[in-house]
Chain A
Amino acid sequence: MKVHLTLGEAQGGYIVLFEQRAVSLIELFLAFAKIGCFTFGGGFAMIPLIEQVVVEKKRWLKHEDMIDILAVSQALPGAVAINSATFIGQKVAGGKGAFVATLGVILPSVIIITFIASFFLRMESNLIVSAAFAGVRPAVVALIAVAAYKVFKKSVKDKADAIVVVVTALLAAFSDVHVILLIIIGAALGFVMQKVQPEKIMATIGRKRQSNDIC
């Protein structure tokens, strides 16, 4: 396992020197193949897996980085899984990393679906498969709910923040307001909050600079 020093980019008048383990492309591929194998039920279902594999086990990302990457992945067109794999791969190991991570998250699906399409197993009428899936769905609800709670603890600083989260959750779950519109409103809210409570946002900037956050 190689250890090398990375000279952080000089930004905002400071230079950061931090130690980082070189990430092998095979490791990156396998991590995302694992995420691709166990993501059931849409893009956000991969959050608990990204958190466990990429943040906790491999320590390639900080928790806050993950939230920002998810935000960008939601705001841009395309599948959230592909977007976030590309972004994380790029951040962890550059262009090659982006390619390898995206390939990893896609490949298990391609293999499984090709297999199903060749035999066209009627999954719906397969009672055992649908029973297994009926078991997986509530577990995924629990996984996402816990992930949401962890993200909530990191991103919410006061009551005003909490209200924004609750209103967004209700709008997204029970109305037809488009996700993109909500994200744009969120961006605008950032500026409003900076006007109203500048010290809150400034505290985030201070913390960000100390912890050498990238994205």
Chain B
Amino acid sequence: MIYVELLITFAKIGLLSFGGGYAMISVARIDVLSNAWLSPSEFVDIIAIAEMTPGPIAVNLATFVGFRTAGFLGGLVATAGVALPSFVLILLVSQLLIKYQSHSARIVIFYGIRLVVTGLIFAAAIFLAQNAVFNSFETGKIIRILLTEPLEVLNLRAILILILALIAQLKFKINPVVIIICSAIAGILLFYVL
């Protein structure tokens, strides 16, 4: 039955993808295409849609594939499938961590992990910046191009929005939701109207 198949396949995708939504795309691609649930070009479209709409990419992908394959209920079942392994694992692990909250080994381990996660958050900003403020980004060449022809690769309108968003946060302490809404309006003005 298609619902069971969707549930099991997306539970498997949820269980096998480490490192968040972007890691999930490559895992999901194989299953979705081999089951012929979407065509390769539809798969590319849904990734674009998943990135443009709010919320976890994993959920967007599961809902879309489930809906296209087996209607509304299919969307719900696939989404439940992708969330289920996380939900169960986190419930188990969080209880364990709360139980050992002041165990010295846990504190030592998390001291190191916290530093790595801090680095990962900076990396997420760098990673998104490659798409957001550069017209093209090639790791090997970028420094040379930046020094010789910065206007070729830098998207000045995007940089303006980035700077305004920084000022809004640091100087005026504006709420992130307000910043996102204003930046969408600024995007329409700068990239569509002008």
Query: Which chain A residues have a beta carbon within 8 Å of chain B's beta carbons?
Result: 9, 11-12, 34, 36-45, 47-49, 52, 64, 67-68, 70-83, 86-87, 90-91, 95, 98-99, 102, 105-106, 108-110, 112-114, 116-118, 122-124, 127-148, 151-152, 155-156, 161, 164-174, 178-180, 182-183, 185-194, 201, 204-205, 208-209, 213-215
Known contacts: A78-B89, A187-B112, A204-B107. The answer to whether A40 contacts B120 by CB under 8 A is: no
Residue from B23, B111, B179, B191 whose CB has the most chain A CB atoms within 10 Å: B111
Asked if B53 contacts A116 (CB within 8 A), the reply is yes
What are some 24 contacts across the A-B interface (CB < 8 A)? A11-B101, A49-B176, A77-B89, A78-B15, A78-B83, A78-B85, A80-B21, A82-B82, A110-B59, A117-B64, A117-B68, A124-B48, A130-B52, A130-B191, A138-B183, A142-B166, A143-B169, A143-B179, A144-B124, A165-B119, A169-B123, A188-B112, A192-B112, A215-B98
Asked if A191 contacts B112 (CB within 8 A), the reply is yes
Q: Which residue of B lies closest to A42 (CB)?
A: B21
Q: Which residue of B lies closest to A140 (CB)?
A: B128
Asked if A108 contacts B180 (CB within 8 A), the reply is no
Asked if A82 contacts B87 (CB within 8 A), the reply is yes
Give the contacts of B43-102 with A (CB-CB under 8 A). Answer: 45, 48-60, 63-64, 67-68, 72, 75-76, 79, 82-83, 85-87, 89-91, 93-95, 97-98, 101-102
Can you list the 3 inter-chain pairs with the closest CB atoms, starting with the nearest? Answer: A135-B187, A168-B119, A109-B55
Give the contacts of B8-32 with A (CB-CB under 8 A). Answer: 14-24
Known contacts: A86-B87, A145-B125. The answer to whether A136 contacts B53 by CB under 8 A is: no
Set of chain B residues within 8 Å of A117, measured between Cβ atoms:
63-64, 67-68, 75
Asked if A191 contacts B56 (CB within 8 A), the reply is no
A79, B178: Cα distance in complex, Å: 25
Residue from A129, A134, A187 whose CB has the most chain B CB atoms within 10 Å: A134
A53, B22: Cα distance in complex, Å: 25
A139, B168: Cα distance in complex, Å: 10
Query: Which chain B residues have a beta carbon within 8 Å of chain A's beta carbons?
Result: 14-24, 45, 48-60, 63-64, 67-68, 72, 75-76, 79, 82-83, 85-87, 89-91, 93-95, 97-98, 101-104, 107-129, 131-133, 139, 155, 158-159, 161-163, 165-166, 169-170, 175-177, 179-180, 182-188, 190-192
A144, B122: Cα distance in complex, Å: 7
Asked if A72 contacts B90 (CB within 8 A), the reply is yes
Distance of A138 from chain B, by nearest CB (Å): 4
Asked if B118 contacts A155 (CB within 8 A), the reply is yes
Asked if B180 contacts A140 (CB within 8 A), the reply is yes
Asked if B19 contacts A140 (CB within 8 A), the reply is no
Set of chain B residues within 8 Å of A140, measured between Cβ atoms:
128, 132, 180, 183
A36, B177: Cα distance in complex, Å: 11
Set of chain A residues within 8 Å of B117, measured between Cβ atoms:
67, 70-71, 74, 151, 155, 183, 186
A76, B17: Cα distance in complex, Å: 9
Set of chain B residues within 8 Å of A124, measured between Cβ atoms:
45, 48
Asked if B188 contacts A180 (CB within 8 A), the reply is no
